[in-house]
Amino acid sequence: AQTVTQSQPEMSVQEAETVTLSCTYDTSESDYYLFWYKQPPSRQMILVIRQEAYKQQNATENRFSVNFQKAAKSFSLKISDSQLGDAAMYFCAYRTFTGNQFYFGTGTSLTVIP
Amino acid sequence: GAGVSQSPSNKVTEKGKDVELRCDPISGHTALYWYRQSLGQGLEFLIYFQGNSAPDKSGLPSDRFSAERTGGSVSTLTIQRTQQEDSAVYLCASSFLDRHNSPLHFGNGTRLTVT
């Protein structure tokens, strides 16, 4: 089974600064999908950004962007101009191409310091 | 449109009682998932329904846990003879089957507390 690793249990960033959250995964597939989810204290899981493995271009969504390194099996999330509302738990997720299984990392708790 | 709806939002029950948690997925989503999230932890996969196929129950932690999905829509997760270690947030999510880049859409979860 695929595994997803988030090696940073906690991170902090000053408001308006940039922070990068790390995610690595293990797979033998060549095609798959990667996601970052945000879970604020309200516990609603919200999709932040997605990346198709067959696309070389890194996905971006406003202040959120990814650094997808397929060979290294790395999928980091960069948050620019951090805002107080970005404080949340962030989960990296992997979706298989042939099946419909999702695998989640253990999460990174992000604190934004005013 | 309407998102994934879960009820109840919170449930407190006594040890040994049975509980039912409900999930109403997004209309048209053929895949439905249940996850468990213990305090401060990641998501633990429980069960997955895929259209009319037999569900993937590989994540259910014991035979006290069961789930069904009626009419390809609403799902109920049942925990029998609850134990204190069952206390957690139970998250339901749905997705399209035939769109591989389709993400999971989550409900707000049910916080279960077993006293």
Alpha-carbon gap, residue A20 to A4, rounded angstroms: 17
How close is the nearest chain A Cα to the Cα of B45, in Å? 8
Give residues with Cβ within 8 angstroms of B14, minimum separation 6.
Answer: B82, B114, B115
Q: What is the DSSP letter of A100?
A: -
* B12 touches A: beta carbon within 8 Å: no
A interface with B, Cβ–Cβ < 8 A, is 33, 35, 37, 42-47, 50, 52, 91, 93, 95, 97, 100-102, 104-107
| Residue A78 and residue A67 in contact, taking contact as beta carbons nearer than 8 Å | yes
Q: Which of A43, A50, A106 sits opposite B103 (nearest CB)?
A: A50
Q: What is the CATH number of the domain that holds B43?
A: 2.60.40.10
Nearest CA in chain B to A105: B42
Residue B73 included in any domain: yes
| pLDDT-based confidence at residue B1 (cuts at 50, 70, 90) | low
Give residues with Cβ within 8 angstroms of A24, minimum separation 6.
Answer: A4, A5, A7, A72, A73, A74, A75
Beta strands per DSSP E along B8-63? 10-13, 19-24, 31-37, 44-50
How far is CA A95 from each of CA A101, B20, B104, rounded to the nearest angstrom?
6, 28, 10
What is the tally of structural domains in chain A?
1
Question: Would you state the pLDDT for residue A65?
Answer: 97
Residue B13 included in any domain: yes
B102 vs B112, residue with greater confidence:
B112
What is the tally of structural domains in chain B?
1
Of all residues in chain B, the percent with pLDDT exceeding 90 is 73
The tokens describing B17, both together, are 């009682």
In the block, tokens 């390194």 appear at: A69
Lowest mean pLDDT among A36-40, B47-51, B76-80: B47-51
Nearest CA in chain B to A44: B108
Phi then psi dihedrals of residue B85, to 5 deg: -70, -5
B2 vs B66, residue with greater confidence:
B66
**Mean pLDDT, to the nearest integer, of A25-34?**
92
Q: In terms of residue numbers, what domain contains B50?
A: 5-109
Q: In terms of residue numbers, what domain contains A58?
A: 3-113
Q: Does pLDDT of A93 surpass 70?
A: yes
Q: Which of B31, B91, B106 sits opposite A100 (nearest CB)?
A: B31
Q: What is the CATH number of the domain that holds A98?
A: 2.60.40.10
How far is CA A31 from each of CA A60, A77, B41, B77, rounded to the nearest angstrom?
20, 20, 28, 32
- Residue (of A8, A13, A21, A73) closest to A48 by Cα position: A21
| pLDDT-based confidence at residue A20 (cuts at 50, 70, 90) | very high
Residue B114 included in any domain: no
Residue B115 included in any domain: no
Residue B36 included in any domain: yes
Torsion of CA A24, A26, A29, A33, to 10 degrees: -30
How close is the nearest chain B Cα to the Cα of A114, in Å? 23
* B104 touches A: beta carbon within 8 Å: yes
Give residues with Cβ within 8 angstroms of B1, minimum separation 6.
Answer: B26, B27
A68 vs B96, residue with greater confidence:
A68
Q: Please write the tens of the pLDDT for every residue from A46-67.
A: 999 999 999 989 999 999 999 9
